[in-house]
Amino acid sequence: MLAKRIIPCLDVDHGKVKKGINFKNLVDVGSPVEIAAEYELQGADELVFLDITATLDQRKTMAETVEEVSKQVFMPLTVGGGIKSEEAMHELLQSGADKISLNSAAINDPELITDGAERFGSQCIVCAIDVKKDVGTGRYQVYSKGGTENTGLDAIKWAKKAVELGAGELLVTSMDCDGTKQGFDIDLYQQIGEAVHVPIIASGGAGKKEDFLDVFQKTPVTGALAASLFHFGELKIEELKKYLEENGVNVRR
């Protein structure tokens, strides 16, 4: 049986790992290679690198960082942030990335998902979706450009479309929960899990080990992502996995 995945997310800016609270107020927490190696030791199952400011600043992504990390860390690496072309995907995959995460660019140009999937395989293409609940209607809406712009797209519909276009995995971030440490948005992942038949990674809101158990028990997500919780050592992955295993969740140990 496949193990549920614990995935630290490294928000990278100018080659340094950062973590924003609700995508703002960045705090430097160090070198990508060192952090990645530490996470490998701790038992992380995958790593996600997000060039969080790339879309805003129209900057190129971080092939060099990926190259360095993949020389020393031997687990699946997903890279996202500011990737707008097949060529950029190719460059990052050549540098050592295993998967490419598309966010704003896929919203602007949905065919980018298909182009990437056809050329590199669906297993390489992750569609990242930043979601916020509309207070009035209770509907989940998709935000783009680092969570700054409401696209008006319905999150469940967009998730389905992304999968139809060829995305092999979805990385769904609840902006409402992100940084709050109050737990994952269970309702969101139940809805998306019913809508699509690909692996889903839950992101946003993890504050304690019980939150991970909750999302794995109540929703079909196969991975859970967190950043500051792990970066600041508030929760050790080893300890988290032990807890999950004791509570019947299949994890890699």
Partner 1 sequence: MIVAVDYGAGNLANVLKAFRYLDEEVSASSSPTTIRQADGIILPGVGAFGSAMDELKKRRLNQVLYEEAKAGKPLLGICLGMQLLFDESDEFGVHEGLHLIPGRVEAFPKDIDLLVPQMGWNQNVVNNEQSIFADVLDGSYTYFVHSYYAKCDQQYVVSYTNYGVKVPSCVEFKNVYGMQFHPEKSGEKGLEMLERFIERVDE
Place of tokens 């050790």: 236
Q: How far is the CB of 240 from partner 1 (least distance, A)?
A: 15
Using the rule CB under 8 A, is 114 a contact of partner 1?
A: no
Site string for partner 1, 158-197 (x = CB under 8 A): ----------xx---------------------------x
Question: Toward partner 1, which CB reaches closer, 148 or 250?
Answer: 250
Q: Is 176 a catalytic residue?
A: no
The interface with partner 1 within residues 190-219 (CB under 8 A) comprises: 197-199
- How many residues lie near partner 1 (CB under 8 A)? 28
Using the rule CB under 8 A, is 236 a contact of partner 1?
A: no
Q: How far is the CB of 99 from partner 1 (least distance, A)?
A: 9
Q: How far is the CB of 12 from partner 1 (least distance, A)?
A: 19
Q: How far is the CB of 76 from partner 1 (least distance, A)?
A: 5
Determine whether 138 is exposed, middle or buried from the number of CB atoms within 10 Å of its CB (0-12, 13-18, 19+): exposed
Where does this chain touch partner 1 (CB under 8 A) — which range of 67-75, 134-142, 205-213, 232-240?
Answer: 67-75
Q: Is 130 a catalytic residue?
A: yes
Catalytic hit among 98, 130, 176, 178:
130
Return residues touching partner 1 (CB under 8 A).
Answer: 1-3, 5, 40, 45, 70-72, 74-76, 93-96, 98, 121-123, 168-169, 197-199, 222, 252-253
